[in-house]
Amino acid sequence: MIRLEPVVAALPHGFAELRAEARTAGYNMLDTLAREWASGAMRFNRPGEALFAAYADAVLAGIGGLTLEPAIPDELPGALRMRRFYVGVRHRRAGVGRALAAALLGAAPGRTVTVNAAPGSEAFWEALGFVADRRDGRTHRLAR
């Protein structure tokens, strides 16, 4: 069973382990999340923003957030960017990523959402309806 929780006051229990796994795999998005959270630079608390933790059997299985899209405010006013999205290796292909993405997209009804898909994750995002749109630091866009 997958349980989703908004992250508000502190990064979730198990974050250090998930962060270490991501770093070992060559992904630094959780290092960036930890640094920005600690400094207060990014807390996913502006209107439309959200950060969710996904748990599977009480273990942190993934994390992901939405922020205002800074690269294209004139082109797509109100657009959001999917950020710091990571699902642990042992929880992939078990619905964790899809549940996490659905919760985030559900928090942004009717708004355009962009993502900079990590190599190898393109098919995941495209299965959710995102289309390739490689510019301004993004790889995909979901127009709604």
Give the dihedral sign, CA 72/75/78/80.
negative
Distance CA 117, CA 119 (A): 6
pTM: 0.92
Would strands 113-115 and 131-135 be described as parallel, antiparallel, or unpaired?
Answer: unpaired
Tens digits of residue pLDDT in 40-86: 999 999 988 999 999 998 999 999 999 998 777 666 778 899 999 99
Distance CA 126, CA 129 (A): 5
Tens digits of residue pLDDT in 94-142: 999 999 999 999 988 888 999 999 888 999 999 999 999 998 788 999 9
Distance CA 75, CA 17 (A): 38
**Domain range list for the chain:** 2-142
CATH architecture of the domain 2-142 equals: 3-Layer(aba) Sandwich (3.40)
CB contact burial 19-38 (16+ within 10 A = b; e otherwise): beebeeeeeebbeebeebbe
